[in-house]
Structure 1
Amino acid sequence: MPDIFESATDAVPAQSEPDAEQMAAVPGDLPLSEILIRWTAQRTQFRHDNTTLPLAPIPGEPVEVWAASGEEVPIERAVLYYTVDGSRPDRSSTALPMERARVSWDPHAGYITHWLARIPGQPAGTCVRYRIAGWLARPGSPPAEEPEPEIWAQDGQGFAFHFSGERAFTTFAYLVEEEQQRRPPSWATEAVIYQIFLDRFRSDAADGHVATESDPQALHGGTLNGVRAALPYLSELGVTCLWLSPLHLAESYHRYDALDYFRVDPRLGSSADLQALMAEAHARGMRVLLDFVPAHVSWHHPAFVAAQMDRQAPSHDWFYFERWPDRYGTFLDAVPSLPSLRSESEGARRHIIASALHWLSEYGVDGFRLDHAIGHSMDFWCEFRQATRGLRPDVFLLGEVTDTPDALRRYHGRLDAVLDFPLAAALRSTFGVHTWDLGRFDRFLSSYESYMADGPARASFLDNHDMNRFLFITGNRPELLKLAALCQFTLAPTPIIYYGTEVGMSQRADISTKTFGGDAEARAAMPWRPEDWNQELLAFYRSLIRLRRALPVLTYGARRVVHLDTSQATYAYVRTQAGGPHLERGDALVLFNLSEQPQTVVLPAVALPPAATTLLASGQAPVIRRSRHQVAITSEPLSGAVFSWQEGG
């Protein structure tokens, strides 16, 4: 995601120092006030929030489609039109009259009428596209003969609920896939991902040094060859997948403002440099994800320049103009330099999808981290998924969905996985700034895991380029970072490490203060002198990655809480393939002490059999004392450990 601040005025209002919760905030952690605005908008809208049951159907399974109309939109009848041949639905498509299923009342939105249609089951590989038409009730008026729809249901999620008219998302879709096809490729599920911000990572210089510019928005000189030179370091670290920040031709150092979706930015290197990087990464067993930015471009992109100059230009309908040529839709309607691409434009779609296929076919990339995924409709993502999987069946699509858990769930069957912003917020609040105690964390985790069970896969992180670095929010306390990482790597989502976190990178000031340039403060140059690294932290991360890769139960097992004591700030859970109280072979027991004092946790003896050993501790190894029926584990302050009963133990 680009930095909004860098496109704003130079005049920065005085700001108070952020509190702990603000420092720990993540982009997807929406404030309640914003959620309520979206909820209240139902009063005046006819909406389909991609509410289908099931979310991702298997072959032959019928699908319920639900829509809702607010009390200020008196819909008299509604009809769903759908196609299965890839064409955009219209009134000539197969029609399903919707039934008025029920009326509910909400304290914010008032009375809501719920409409239901059932689309028959379809064979595997089908993309079902649909639109929902509505006709308003007009008491006392004679019925017209087959009138045109007066309103089309719009997507009410993400940022799209703000839209109306031709800018609204009114075409929806889902894919029918076999059970195995709905899952991410196994290589992605089992990956440890390392996020690289190209301009700030490593240069072509022999020592890899990246210039420290006084201007935080200036180019610092990171290159593709620099990343290639770092592959031995990354291989020794143990990561199995690299996520590269955008590398196409763009204006800024971050490159979330594309000028050309098909060209490698020559400031990063050449096409041959990218091919060499891909070849060596693959030879080392590493996959590569490209950060792909399909929702907006630079205002100097040739397509937008042409659209502003000529209403008859082929690219004119790629963009939404409220008042041509100078008032148009932009990223979050906040950054004029980033005009948004229209999700419903067939021309824009063809261009974006063709560029994704270009990177897959020409360079052999393994997938995409999809920036600002809420900027496009589910219909767009279904087409994107079909096209990319048609070329590479094991492609991995990871969406940046900065929205509520309710919205995240609905990407199941559209994208493989989503970045786990809710979990990041919880980890940062619990382990980073201690505004949550372990009781709140456990309640969140238990509810959230259950709620997301039928959603897409998730990828976890502690920090990234759009938020304060984790070590910074702890007050530069590595022991807290270790605890958070231990928790992150022993939960199911695929873990991501932001470059430099493993060696103790921090920052000078909170990004919200704008003291040193906003988000750029969390995007500092990677240090390449080993004497500048926290070697103990780096060794811990290497061990943590080995542990994750050696214990499949951390990826595929169930989680069961075996201890929680908020008064002494201790917490323990088991990752297991079995359902009983015993720790079986291959299972893992994970224990945390978040207090400033040594603490002893007493568990039933079966929770840690004598054959189990301490595989990893964030500090000194815990002391274990056994009796006939119990096991007492004493751990030092602010520490965590993983125990397991391995084969042969």
Structure 2
Amino acid sequence: MIHPAPARTASRTSSPSPGSTGVHYEIFVRAFCDSNGDGIGDLNGVTSRLDYLQDLGVSALWLMPVNPSPSYHKYDVTDYYGIDPEYGTLDDFKRLVDEAHRRGIRVIMDFVINHTSSRHPWFQEACKSRENPYHDWYVWMTRQQIDSLNIATREITADSQERSPWHAVPGAPFPERYYALFWSGMPDLNYDHPAVRKEIYKAGAYWLKEIGVDGFRLDAARHIYPDWEEPKNHQFWEEFGREMEAVKPGAYTVGEVWTSAERIAPYFRGLKANFNFDLSLALQELIPKERDSVEIVRMLLHNRSVFEQVNPNFLDAIMLTNHDQNRIGSVLKGNADHLKVAANLLLTLPGNPYLYYGEEIGMLGMKPDENIREPFLWDEKGRDTGRSRWRRPKFSTDSTVVPLARQQADPHSLFHHYRRLIHFRNGHPVLNDNRSRLEGSEIRQKGVIAFHRRSGDRSVLVLHNLTKRGMDVLLYPAAEAEGKKIVLDTQGKARLIKGGKLRLPAYGCVVLEDK
């Protein structure tokens, strides 16, 4: 059980810029909560669970796509101004935004602008002829042009399995093929065409100003331009950022840029945050091994220094896993101790933390994607009126995952571990500063991760025991230990002992600060 110092409640009176404080929560609407009994999660279902999310302590919701789409996941949009009828109406969405704001929770919308659906009216028109006004809204080349640039195929990357991204339109009155990085049903938009930029900026302004969302998660941000023109992405996002900021000062933007730190860095010129996939993969590796084989603090210090050179006010969006990765519950084989260590690390490292829905109750899931997007388990089967039935779960079932209602009744559950950690974090001025500085530590002990976080004139020392063995950790310099106090002890058994040491329990996390 987490044993914090006397509670300091997070204030709702101030309005820090989105992302700079608090924990964000990613929701796949289809799987989250069904409000009308049709088996499909919907917007009213999310609204009905806002009190739960507020109690958990989250400060913002990232809603995976809600625009009309022919696919279950809705990452191929057919209308940038509408709501998919499976999820509800525009009035339902407005009500969700209003109710979230009333509770101090911001709403971030997945804005899928790298590509549209092949069923989007723009693409349907574009396929009619080369003279059609919409033809230039997409990327087209002849076979000769493709071959001359040697771009007929591409290497598979973490974010796209497509090797042959050029596709012919059956029966088309022209020889060109269109570029679709992800699959033929998702043709890429042509951002060299001014009309495309104008329309996308208009749609973004609509959701920010008219509907009231607080920002966007930008899907496939690295692929706005094709791979061979990647540097043009940086200029685009700078322009996009200026346009959105002009509409709504402080609007939050977070990009999906899955590559090395050096290649992510230029995206911070236009985007306020980018997801840290390096950290996600490192955490998945070190937690089950119970040792820091990747030297995670050193890696983070390097990456953060690279980002800071481009934008000193960057936001590092950190997560354990998301909707494109095997769930952390399965990666860690459902091990309760390892899952709590994962929560400890995520919620004490600097950056803007994201939880994937159900992570707080230990939901499971392994690829393919449908199996990592299974229904949230609110209560026991038969009593769970809000449970989505969009698909029969293979991994997160009543026999493998303890539903939320039972975890809420158990003070030692994973849910309560997350809740206590989040509330402590929200109330601590250093931990809740998502832009706080990361500083290394002289502590070098196997199985221990230690680091400092600094915000203004305050700092904390954070220690994690990755192992099943309790240990005495020599604090460095030892004399400083006398001036420290424990403000967070996740196991309730930590104590400062003679010789400048900290008794750190198995799988425990301890936060120290000056008396």
Asked whether the two chains share a fold, i.e. TM above 0.5, the reply is yes
Match of 2:4 in 1: none
Match of 2:126 in 1: 307
Look up the equivalent residue of 1:400 and give its one-letter code: E
Question: Aligned-pair RMSD on alpha carbons?
Answer: 2.3
- Where does the alignment leave 5 or more consecutive residues of structure 1 unmatched? 1-183, 212-220, 512-517, 579-583
Match of 1:119 in 2: none
> Does residue 83 of structure 2 align to residue 264 of structure 1?
yes
Match of 2:374 in 1: 524
Give the Cα separation in 2 of the matches to 1:572 and 1:374.
Answer: 33
Match of 1:643 in 2: 512
1:57-80 CA-to-partner distances (Å, cap 9, x unmatched) read xxxxxxxxxxxxxxxxxxxxxxxx
Q: 2:427 aligns with which of 550, 555, 558?
A: 550
Q: 2:64, 2:109 within 8 Å by CA — same for their partners in 1?
A: yes
3-state secondary structure, aligned to 1:254: coil
User: How does the TM-score come out when normalised to structure 2?
Assistant: 0.78
Give the Cα separation in 1 of the matches to 2:179 and 2:481.
Answer: 56
Deviation at 1:386, TM superposition (A): 1.9
3-state secondary structure, aligned to 1:411: helix
Look up the equivalent residue of 2:253 and give its one-letter code: L
Look up the equivalent residue of 1:437 and give its one-letter code: D
Match of 2:322 in 1: 464
Give the Cα separation in 1 of the matches to 2:103 and 2:340.
Answer: 27
Deviation at 1:635, TM superposition (A): 2.4
Match of 1:559 in 2: 438
> Does residue 204 of structure 2 align to residue 356 of structure 1?
yes
- Where does the alignment leave 5 or more consecutive residues of structure 2 unmatched? 1-14, 143-167, 171-175, 225-232, 381-401
> Does residue 406 of structure 2 align to residue 587 of structure 1?
no
More contact order relative to length (CA 8 Å, sep ≥ 6): 2
Deviation at 1:429, TM superposition (A): 1.7
> Does residue 492 of structure 2 align to residue 613 of structure 1?
no
Q: 2:255 aligns with which of 396, 399, 403?
A: 399
Give the Cα separation in 1 of the matches to 2:427 and 2:479.
Answer: 23
What pairs up with 1:98-117 in 2 under 5 angstroms?
A: none
Q: 1:257, 1:298 within 8 Å by CA — same for their partners in 2?
A: yes
3-state secondary structure, aligned to 2:500: strand
Look up the equivalent residue of 1:637 and give its one-letter code: A
What pairs up with 1:400-439 in 2 under 5 angstroms?
A: 400-431=256-287, 433-434=288-289, 437-438=292-293
Give the Cα separation in 2 of the matches to 1:362 and 1:230.
Answer: 24
Q: 1:248, 1:258 within 8 Å by CA — same for their partners in 2?
A: yes
What pairs up with 1:263-282 in 2 under 5 angstroms?
A: 263-282=82-101
Match of 1:72 in 2: none
Look up the equivalent residue of 1:187 and give its one-letter code: P
Give the Cα separation in 2 of the matches to 1:418 and 1:558.
Answer: 17
Deviation at 1:392, TM superposition (A): 0.3
Q: 1:309, 1:325 within 8 Å by CA — same for their partners in 2?
A: no
Look up the equivalent residue of 2:27 and give its one-letter code: I
**Percent identity between the aligned chains?**
32
3-state secondary structure, aligned to 2:82: strand
Match of 1:571 in 2: 449
Deviation at 1:447, TM superposition (A): 2.2
3-state secondary structure, aligned to 1:380: helix
Look up the equivalent residue of 1:448 and give its one-letter code: N
Deviation at 1:359, TM superposition (A): 0.9
Give the Cα separation in 2 of the matches to 1:329 and 1:401.
Answer: 23
Match of 2:164 in 1: none
Cα distance change, pair 506–605 in 1 and its aligned pair in 2 (3 A): same
Look up the equivalent residue of 1:203 and give its one-letter code: D
Deviation at 1:593, TM superposition (A): 1.5
Q: 1:486, 1:544 within 8 Å by CA — same for their partners in 2?
A: yes
Q: 1:570, 1:599 within 8 Å by CA — same for their partners in 2?
A: no
3-state secondary structure, aligned to 1:250: coil
Match of 2:151 in 1: none
Look up the equivalent residue of 1:591 and give its one-letter code: L
Q: 2:453, 2:461 within 8 Å by CA — same for their partners in 1?
A: yes
Give the Cα separation in 2 of the matches to 1:201 and 1:239.
Answer: 16
What pairs up with 1:323-338 in 2 under 5 angstroms?
A: 323=142, 325=169, 328-332=177-181, 334-338=182-186
Give the Cα separation in 2 of the matches to 1:526 and 1:258.
Answer: 25
Look up the equivalent residue of 1:434 and give its one-letter code: K
Structure 1, 542-551 or 273-282: larger mean CA deviation = 542-551
Match of 2:145 in 1: none
* Structure showing greater Rg: 1
Q: 1:339 aligns with which of 183, 187, 197?
A: 187
Give the Cα separation in 1 of the matches to 2:493 and 2:506.
Answer: 12
1:604-630 CA-to-partner distances (Å, cap 9, x unmatched) read 44444456124231x34313313xxx3
Give the Cα separation in 2 of the matches to 1:210 and 1:592.
Answer: 45
Match of 2:333 in 1: 475
User: How does the TM-score come out when normalised to structure 1?
Assistant: 0.63
Give the Cα separation in 2 of the matches to 1:638 and 1:496.
Answer: 22
Q: 2:318, 2:353 within 8 Å by CA — same for their partners in 1?
A: yes
Cα distance change, pair 557–262 in 1 and its aligned pair in 2 (3 A): closer
Look up the equivalent residue of 2:510 and give its one-letter code: A
1:389-414 CA-to-partner distances (Å, cap 9, x unmatched) read 11101111111112221121101221
What pairs up with 1:232-247 in 2 under 5 angstroms?
A: 232-247=51-66
3-state secondary structure, aligned to 2:127: helix
